Amino acid sequence: MIDLEVPKKFRPLVAQARGMAEEVFWPISRKYDRAEHEYPAELDLVSAVIDGMGDGGAGQGAGASSSTRAKDDGAEEGDVAAVGSGRRGSKDKGGNKNGSNLSSVLSILETCRGDVGLTLSIPRQGLGNAAIAAVASDEQKERYAGKWAAMAITEPEVGSDSGAIRTTAVKDGDEYVLNGEKIYVTAGERAELVVVWATLDRSLGKQAIKSFVVHRDNPGMELVRLEHKLGIRASDTAAFSLQDCRVPAEDLLGDPEIRIEGGFGGAMQTFDNTRPLVAAMALGLTRASLDKTTELLAEAGVHPDPDRPLSTQSAAAAKLLQMEADYQAAYLLALRAAWMADNGKPNSMEASMAKAKAGRTCVNVSLACVELAGATGYAETELLEKWARDSKILDIFEGTQQIQLLVVARRLLGYSSKELR
């Protein structure tokens, strides 16, 4: 049974991540929101601190690069390895594993309480790193260790339907040849590697989707442009063109064979690990919005009381309490999805539940906090308006709200993607 208390061994990590958010990210958040596409040099120090925490064991698997999956064959303590950190997942006295997925969710929640765009810009902590950690072989993990990896899924005219991906991968001897376009690649310009999703056979849908690790200096992958965005401006977002991009066969992640039976392939399984991380990002922004709004309303004499009926309190106080309840629901869903991954349990439905709830809660809460704070919420004197702009992407990437609900419905009803579209 999942324990809803933060494990004691993770509490120093959470405290360090919270300190990073407040002392490093908040002071520079507005600066890099305005200086879009400028690399935040301050993050080099942050990255060094995270690396040091991992090497020394204090990190306990901090960051996206540590998100991996436990074996589901009754494996004993120590089977959950945090990439690059030398740490292992451990069991509590009840037999639960508190591993790298849970620690990643908790640490990312705190850093995104500071700034989502800056968190996405920390070297070697990209969603591509989480994809590598989720499905790469031990040899590949060792080979890619210490590299910063972006993830390229979205294509022009192919939004949330990953099964409709048009980028192709054709085997040619000991290489695959990739052709296609990728857009909205987070950290695409700055990363050293890009995990590119491509299909071996368009007619087979998701079963034929594979992910390939492409080096940024590969001459077949051209950076077309950097996007100008509504939010998370500190994070660069790139578009790429792949023209006869040759990738060694050893850089295909997961099983190279097309498996018609058995549902998700290795590429699709990465969502089971990355969606709880995106939920954690949304939770961090939600927490920041709630904390700041509570502080501002307290200065105006509004003090919510969770022990009193909402009908006896002011509209602002009642709204804060309702939003707090939504936050707590999303938080528990994210913990459950991460805990299931740490314990080798199938969590596709739970990962989608967490991402759907947290993403929508983030948007609703951040906008409501701008409204509750009035002119202060709309002005640049506080970060509330920025957080409202940042929030929308967390309801979109790694699968939109509608896609998450489809995944949940399919799991609940036992339908395939062909049967329920």
Cα separation, 75 vs 95, in Å, equals 11
The residue from 110, 181, 350, 398 that is catalytic is 398
398 in catalytic set: yes
What per-residue string of b and e applies to 147-158 under the rule 16 or more CB within 10 Å gives b?
Answer: bbbbbbbbbeeb
Rounded to 5°, angle at Cα 251 from 253 and 107: 55
Active-site residues, by number, are 398
